[in-house]
Amino acid sequence: MASTNGDTNGHSVKHDSRFDPDFTRHVINATGPKATPRMRKVMGSFIQHIHDFARENELTVEEWMAGVEMINWAGKMSDEKRNEGQLMCDVIGLESLVDEITFKLAAETNDAATASAILGPFFRHDAPVLENESTIVHGVDDGEITYMHGIVRDLKTKQPVAGAWIDVWQASTNGLYEQQDENQIEHNLRGKFKTDENGRYAYYCLRPTPYPVPADGPAGKLLKLLDRHPYRPAHIHLIVQREGYKPVTTQIFDSKGDYLEDDSVFAVKDSLLVDFVPLKGNPKATLELNYPILIAPIEKST
Amino acid sequence: MASTNGDTNGHSVKHDSRFDPDFTRHVINATGPKATPRMRKVMGSFIQHIHDFARENELTVEEWMAGVEMINWAGKMSDEKRNEGQLMCDVIGLESLVDEITFKLAAETNDAATASAILGPFFRHDAPVLENESTIVHGVDDGEITYMHGIVRDLKTKQPVAGAWIDVWQASTNGLYEQQDENQIEHNLRGKFKTDENGRYAYYCLRPTPYPVPADGPAGKLLKLLDRHPYRPAHIHLIVQREGYKPVTTQIFDSKGDYLEDDSVFAVKDSLLVDFVPLKGNPKATLELNYPILIAPIEKST
């Protein structure tokens, strides 16, 4: 049924004798001489895989069009506050996979810093800058307030890094990020904190709770079609960055929470599990999370 | 470097030892028991191919996000008059491929009717119903008017089929469909015609001219990134349908036109080439196109 040939771009071309054996090669070879080598490689491979996928499943026009409509729907729902195309990738594990690839490529040239995890579709670039020891929690009555703090250190020297930025965001106890919820104030449960001269950051946040990915878009529909639950385990998003260091995008997960084994977007890693511990003597919080962070200096080319 | 294992859904799982060998299987196996068998098969295969694609190319977060942004852009540009998600699929040959697959599956259960071709993104469901012998051309000064006519016949009996609907649409001489061009009247160069008691249809249209796919969206951007020209060979779109028959979606191509070998959306088939011939003695047209159409009756299950 199938034979394999090379095409002029060096891809392996799989043939199914029922369908035109030259078609995919013809499409791939349409790429012109001025395309970058990376674009030629990546799109050639993408075309090959998508065509193989269509042939192997004998995908019909109606099925393909249903996919096109989901993609267009994703774009229509997306704006500066929401990225549904990204969320669709998340529920098929693609963001988590490219995160793993990117992190591994970085790790092969340097020591491994704090493990990364997916950005998720609810990040906002314009979170407010806040003072250390302040809170990101406003108007939440049913949450467990957590005093989260730690020291950011240089992966190589292990010395504290002053002036590093911690971007933190999390959903509220009702499972909604502020941009999804008109009852939350703008930028609730988000903030940017800068490490002090001792590399220390500190703020008050919520102990996170599980929440479902939104059911009103194509990602939610895809989960229903796949008979999967939509829940994400309880987590806090972090981006840590400083000039001269590789930025780290990560999520930390409550080690005692549900859905750690079946996260709907497949983002959990053992190295990202953290323990929320009881805190005594602080009227502002009942829990504490000490979370040290390592960031890798960018190597000077020698 | 690579080994192959089966997963519980019966897919072949390719492993690259640098990345988590269990991840793709884990994502595929998250599909629940109530997913339809077809959904399980198609999405399992899609996840496998997309993950393999990401690993084989060591796709980075930045590259993946560039793809997400193109998908969201496609959705935002799409509306009832334009389908940019579809157009992106077209430039990588996917619509043409699923059309081939769908047509072949139909041909394996019945005789082959008039060859199909892709719908394209400029079809509108609300084209006006017109009388035979009327024109779809309004306000075009520089076109070659063509008298197009023919008889629709039953593939099996070869008898004329009365009451079949011919839906025709084409771009104007400036390369634009009416919904892309504010200088054309609504529904210009579109119409729905019904075959008479002798199975005959007839109308005046343009000899089609080549045109580029739109450059202002992600499909146009993708073509630029691939260093490909955006031109489509001159063609007329047709959908032919009648109750009791399989609908036919097709495009017919001017056999003397350019870009037949390198159509930007890969839709040309030899069986769809037609000849426009000089017409004498008709003040309304200088060319004639006699285009007979075969449609396949839907088999009664016995």
For a pLDDT cut of 90, what percent of chain B falls above it? 75
Q: Are residues A25 and A120 in the same domain?
A: no
Q: Are A212 and A254 found together in one domain?
A: yes
The CA distance from A89 to B106, in Å, is 33
Q: Is residue B270 in some structural domain? A: yes
Would the CB atoms of B225 and A98 count as touching at under 8 Å? no
Contact flag A64-B92 (C-beta cutoff 8 Å)? no
pLDDT higher at B240 or B117: B240
B99 closest CB neighbour out of A34, A61, A104: A61
Chain B residues with beta carbon closer than 8 angstroms to that of A267: none
CA distance B61 to A103: 9
Phi/psi of residue A88, nearest 5 degrees: -60, -45
Residue B172 lies in a domain: yes
Hey, of A13, A57, A116, which one would you mutate to test binding to chain B, going by the most B CBs within 10 A of its CB? A57
Chain A partners within 8 Å of B100 (Cβ): 19-20, 23
- Minimal CA separation from A229 to chain B, in Å: 9
Contact A45, A11 (CB under 8 A): yes
Q: What is the pLDDT of residue B52?
A: 97
Residues A130 and A261 in one domain: yes
Contact B20 A100 (CB under 8 A): yes
> Considering the domain boundaries, does residue A64 fall inside one?
no
Q: Of A14, A43, A59, which residue sits at a domain end?
A: A59
pLDDT score of B11: 45
- The contacts of residue A302 (CB under 8 Å, 6+ apart) are none
pLDDT band at B214 (very low <50, low <70, confident <90, very high): confident
Q: What was the pLDDT predicted at A132? A: 98
Nearest to B95 among A24, A46, A64 (CB): A64
Reduced 3-state DSSP string for A171-182: CCCCCCCHHHCC
Q: Kindly identify which residue of chain A lies nearest to residue B82, measuring between CA atoms.
A: A72
Q: Does A18 sit within 8 Å of B92, measured CB to CB?
A: no
Inter-chain contact A52–B49, Cβ cutoff 8 Å? Answer: yes
The amino acid occupying position B239 is I
**Which phi and psi angles does A272 have, rounded to 5°?**
-105, 5
- By C-alpha distance, the chain B residue nearest A119 is B61
Query: Contact A172/A184 with Cβ under 8 angstroms?
Result: yes
Length of chain B as a residue count: 302
**Gap from B276 CA to chain A (nearest CA, Å):** 28
Q: What is the pLDDT along chain A (302 residues), one digit of tens a residue?
A: 333 444 444 444 444 568 999 999 999 999 999 999 999 999 999 999 999 999 999 999 999 999 999 999 999 999 877 899 999 999 999 999 998 898 888 777 654 556 666 677 788 889 999 999 999 999 999 999 999 999 999 999 999 999 999 999 999 999 999 998 999 999 999 999 999 999 999 999 999 999 998 889 999 999 999 999 999 999 999 999 999 998 888 899 999 999 999 999 998 988 899 999 999 999 999 999 999 999 989 876 55
Rounded Cα distance between A270 and A72, Å, is 36
Residues of B in contact with A50 (CB under 8 A): 49, 92, 94
Contact A266 B68 (CB under 8 A): no
A226 occurs within a structural domain: yes
Greater model confidence, B4 or B195: B195
Residue type, A205: C
- Domain range spanning residue B232? 88-295
pLDDT at B8 over 50: no
Distance CA A154, CA A110 (A): 13
Asked if residue A78 is part of any domain, the answer here is no
A54 and B97 within 8 Å at the Cβ level: the answer is: yes
Rounded CA separation B163/B242 (Å): 7
Same domain, B167 and B48: no
Residues B243/B223, Cβ–Cβ less than 8 Å? no
| pLDDT tens for each residue of B13-38 | 444 568 999 999 999 999 999 999 99
Of A42, A59, A76, which closes a domain?
A59
Min distance B103 CA to chain A CA atoms (Å): 9
Q: What is the pLDDT of residue B107?
A: 73
Per-residue pLDDT averaged across B61-70, rounded?
93
Phi-psi region of A124 (alpha: psi -120 to 50; beta: other; left: phi over 0): beta
To which H or E segment does residue A192 belong? Answer: strand A190-194
Chain B residues in contact with A71 (beta carbon < 8 A): 71, 74-75, 85
| B214 and B114 part of one domain | yes
Confidence of residue B113 (pLDDT cuts 50, 70, 90): low
Residue after which a domain boundary falls, among A59, A80, A105: A59
Q: What is residue B247's predicted lDDT score, i.e. its pLDDT?
A: 86
Residues B115-122, mean pLDDT to the nearest whole number:
70
Domain count within chain B: 2
Tell me, yes or no, whether B198 lies in a domain. Answer: yes
Question: Comparing C-alpha atoms, which of A86, A7, A89 is closest to residue A47?
Answer: A7
Residues B186 and B256 in one domain: yes
Residues B270 and B228 in one domain: yes
Least confident span in A33-42, B43-52, B112-121, B215-224? B112-121
* Distance from C-alpha of B253 to C-alpha of B273, rounded to nearest angstrom: 5
Cβ proximity of A210 and A261 under 8 Å: no
Find the CATH number of the domain harbouring B155: 2.60.130.10
pLDDT of residue B2: 37
3-class SS string, A228-261: CCCEECCEEEEEEECCCECCEEEEEEECCCCCCC
Reply yes or no on whether the pLDDT at B300 is more than 80.
Answer: no
Q: What is the average per-residue pLDDT within B148-156?
A: 96
Domain identity same for A239 and A128: yes
For chain B, give the mean pLDDT: 89
The predicted pLDDT at position B81 comes to 77
Q: Quick one: A115 and A193 in the same domain?
A: yes
The helix-helix angle for A218-225 and A61-77 (nearest 10°) equals 140
Cross-chain residue pair B64–A92, CB shorter than 8 Å: no
Does residue B224 fall inside a structural domain?
yes
Predicted pLDDT of residue B249: 87
Instruction: Name beta bridge partners: A201.
Output: A150
Interface mutation target, options A39, A42, A77, chain B, most CBs of B under 10 Å = A42
Same domain, B124 and B229: yes
CB A231 within 8 A of CB A214: no
Shortest CB distance from B75 goes to which of A64, A75, A92? Answer: A75
Q: Which chain A residue lies closest to B83 (C-alpha atoms)?
A: A72
Is the pLDDT at B285 greater than 80? The verdict is yes
Structure tokens at B92: 């990588």
- Please name the member of B26, B61, B95 whose beta carbon is closest to the beta carbon of A102: B61
CA atoms B267, B269, B272, B277: torsion sign: positive
- CA distances to A31, A221, B217 from A87, rounded to whole Å, are 30, 11, 22
Does residue A234 sit within a domain?
yes
Domain co-membership, A272 together with A161: yes
Same domain, B194 and B50: no
Cα B257 to Cα A182, B166, B276: the distances in Å are 57, 24, 10
- Closest partner residue to B101 (CB to CB) among A58, A95, A102 is A58
The minimum CA-CA distance between A33 and chain B, rounded to whole Å, is 7
The answer to whether the Cβ–Cβ distance between A225 and B43 falls below 8 Å is yes
Of the pLDDT bands very low, low, confident and very high (cuts 50, 70, 90), residue B6 is: very low
Q: For residue A45, give the nearest of B40, B56, B119 by CB distance.
A: B56
d(CA A281, CA A277): 13
Model pLDDT, residue B117: 64
Residues of chain B with Cβ-Cβ distance to A35 below 8 Å are 225-227
> Which one-letter DSSP state was computed for residue B82?
B
